[in-house]
Chains A and B, each alone.
Chain A
Amino acid sequence: MASITQTVSVRRQRFSPSSILRSVLGSQESVLLLALILLIVWVGSENRQFLATRNMVNVFAGNAYIAIAALGMTMVIITGNIDISVGSLMVTLSMLSGAISVYDGYPSWVSTDLTIALAWVLPVIVGALVGAIIGFIVTYLRIPAIVVTLGFLSILKGLLIIVSGGDRITGMPKGYALAQIRPLEDVSMPIFPAFFQTLTMPVFFMVILTILVALWMRYSPTGRALYAVGGNAEAARLSGISRHRVVMTAFILNGVFVGIAAVMNATQFSVIQVTLPPIELTIITATVVGGVSILGGTGTVVGAMLAAIFLNTITKALVFLDISPFWTRAIQGMLILITVLADLYRRHRQSA
């Protein structure tokens, strides 16, 4: 899973142990995977409770919506843009989803099932629309993405509070809780049966979407065009790639993934609240720690997913290591810094 560049280089230099080690450490994805495994093993040996099935599921599911949103962010950043409005958009779409499900003024022919289906699908469509508007302003009106999305951050946040009245939404109909479904509940798995049976929907969305997007970005012309535009816009233009179309695609897909993440977020608990923690920063952090260069042109969604899980594992681990939760962010910040420095050092070594 950990990136194809790695397997290629392993094949090339399979005979020397040190060169194998070097190439394993040669991609951000494998470094993250290694760090994740080491962290889980270490915390587990300090406190067995950490490895309890319930907690392990939380470790993987807790940031699944961040990982899903990071898919879109990865595309946007790879094209050399950025979107800092995703946090506001996600909360807005979560509230929208909840509001659709509890609204009671539908005509009589609208069944509850249809309402729920609408509550799941409409946020994704609205997300795509908002993405299209942002993409249009960035490409055709030529305003830098950071400015446009800074504006949208305010606009969406304001609209959200006006429309929702700052209230919380409760009493969603039965069957709405998509994120609480356990798809493998009745399937007996050969390994870790309890773990797989308790895994909830967001993890499946995260893994399947990440694989699909990773394949799409690696093998489809449009997917490759994302890298081309971010890597060298002029060369991309000369080879007949429409920069505008590619950037539009990235922003629209970003809206779609934020929509899916919002539905996962909304259906996770029995209350949907207008809380505005800086989700956009967590998403950008996951993307960047996952190895996506902020300058555009490089990075993979697999790295972003591993980083999202890694960040959540740290948060959860602190509880089991008896460290005051007030230190969580300081430790996270330090780890982000270390990962980024390691990444820079590695790139420097590779280019030298």
Chain B
Amino acid sequence: MTAHETSQTRIAPAWTQQLRALLRSQESVLLFITVIAVLILSTQTDKFLTVRNLLNQGRLMTEIGLIALPMTYIIVTGGIDLSVGSIAGLSAIMLGYGWYNLGLPLELAIVLALVIGAIAGFANGLFIILFRVPPLIMTLATLAFYRGLAEGIAQARSVRDYPEWFYALGQRETLGIPNQLYFLVIAAIITAIILSRTTFGRSLYAIGNNELAARFSGIPVRRNKLIIYTLSGFMSGFAGYVLVSRVSTTRSDMGSGWELDAIAAVVLGGTSIFGGSGSIVGTMIGLVLIQLLKNGLALTGVTGDATIVVIGSVLILSTLINSVIQRRVEGL
């Protein structure tokens, strides 16, 4: 889908050239790798390529996916957000704390969790634009700080026994499809359209390519950065809520390590870690590839630990393949 979009941005005189560009785009290379992986895995076990299993994998990857979408925006601008897992944990704790300890109605506690997430992301963005703290440092500090708040507020107590309706988002299906998957798909479509079709989205690429030039061309660099970090916080909070609904309990260590999973999906999806290029479609393929590898290998009897070895290798190899192809495309 975005393979089309990327190729359209170049002016292609003939359809053959267009096709060639399409085939060489990061997304199609990755899609090719994914198809190969699925084919190999499905010959190894017949439990893998079933609708039921695949939908279940969709359920499991939703939280990381929700975070990886705004992470793509941030990495496209040349930034990074390491605090997403901690924000998810903090939001989850605030949900449980608001409902159980503060006695808020559960609906209000959910809103509280989302608002806290957004505020946490807003604070990241504010420091980054006001004091020019490098995003890596800022979010490294808040990775510790937000997780610390979650631990301090929770005091190692977990909250469970939510009312039945609360689990609908995380554990039930509509029309046979897990409920949270709808949110992921809708969020992916909206973020993809914004990134590739709106002035705001294109400005993110401009910021990532040359921030100074972007500022001089009248792009509201600081405002746009503030927006994406706030969005990242909000989505992390939402992912925290989805997780609580899926696993039925609230603990302060929820979401630990999510930052690396989300970044892995984005980078695997072909977004340059230096900013300036990348797409939501790539991120979604990266996300799916990681989840399918995890699941497929587990089903074929590979232990979970060997799986992460494979994922790590795939991350490096696919980046290598892509960089070789892109270098050839650019004629370097």
Contacts and interface: CB of A to CB of B under 8 A. Distances in A.
B263 A281 contact: no
B315 A329 contact: no
A331 B316 contact: no
B15 interface: no
A328 B144 CA distance: 9
Contact of A151 (B148, B273, B307, B312): B312
A193 interface: no
B273 A146 contact: yes
Interface in A273-291: 278, 281, 284-285, 288
Nearest to B324: A141
Interface string B113-146: 0000000000000010001111011101111111
Interface centre among A148, A157, A333 (most CB of B within 10 A): A333
Contacts of B323: 141-143
B309 A154 contact: yes
A267 B319 CA distance: 38
B151 A330 contact: yes
Interface residues of B, number: 47
A321 interface: no
Interface string B255-295: 01100100110010000011000000000000000000000
Given A137-B316, A153-B312, A344 B149 contact: no
Given A330-B145, A333-B145, A333-B146, A157 B308 contact: yes
Interface stretch (A20-28, A36-44, A202-210, A334-342): A334-342
A294 interface: yes
A158 B309 contact: yes
Interface in B295-332: 303, 305-313, 315-316, 319-320, 323
B154 interface: yes
B303 A330 contact: no
B307 A158 contact: yes
Contacts of A331: 148
Interface string A110-152: 0000000000000000000000000001000111101110111
B147 interface: yes
A52 interface: no
Given A137-B316, A326-B156, A154 B308 contact: yes
B13 interface: no
A162 interface: yes
Interface centre among A154, A157, A295 (most CB of B within 10 A): A154
Contacts of A160: 305
Interface centre among A141, A151, A334 (most CB of B within 10 A): A151
Given A154-B312, A337-B145, A144 B273 contact: yes
A147 B267 contact: yes
A143 B256 CA distance: 26
Given A147-B316, A154-B311, A162-B309, A333 B144 contact: yes
Contacts of B199: none
Contact of B152 (A84, A148, A324): A324
A146 B260 CA distance: 11
B50 interface: no
A161 interface: yes
- What class of interface size applies to chain A in its complex with B? 35 or more
A158 B304 CA distance: 8
B9 interface: no
Interface in B141-198: 141-149, 151-152, 154-156
Contact of B141 (A154, A324, A340, A345): A340
A155 interface: yes
B75 to A, nearest CB: 10
B145 A147 contact: no
Contacts of B274: 144
Contact of A329 (B147, B303, B310, B320): B147
Given A154-B308, A285-B140, A333 B148 contact: yes
Interface centre among B131, B141, B142, B319 (most CB of A within 10 A): B141
A341 B264 CA distance: 29
A158 B306 contact: yes
A327 interface: yes
A6 to B, nearest CB: 23
A326 B149 CA distance: 8
Nearest to B263: A150
Contact of A333 (B134, B141, B256): B141
A122 B132 CA distance: 43
Contact of B137 (A143, A288, A324): A288
Contacts of A144: 273-274
Contacts of A146: 273
A336 B303 contact: no
A162 B303 contact: yes
Contacts of A329: 144-145, 147-148, 151-152
Contact of B148 (A155, A157, A328): A328
Contacts of A141: 320, 323
B212 to A, nearest CB: 15
Nearest to A288: B137
Contact of A147 (B144, B155, B256, B273): B273
B148 A332 contact: yes
Nearest to B307: A158
B260 A326 contact: no
A284 B80 CA distance: 15
Nearest to B264: A150
Given A148-B316, A154-B315, A326-B152, A337 B142 contact: yes
A34 interface: no
A332 B156 CA distance: 18
A151 B149 CA distance: 29
A159 interface: yes
Contacts of A84: 260
A329 B315 CA distance: 31
6 contacts: A82-B136, A152-B312, A285-B144, A330-B148, A337-B138, A341-B131
The 10 closest A-B pairs by CB, nearest first: A333-B145, A330-B148, A154-B312, A329-B148, A333-B144, A158-B309, A155-B312, A161-B305, A151-B316, A158-B308
Given A285-B140, A330-B145, A333-B148, 8 more contacts: A84-B260, A155-B312, A281-B143, A326-B151, A329-B144, A330-B149, A331-B148, A337-B142
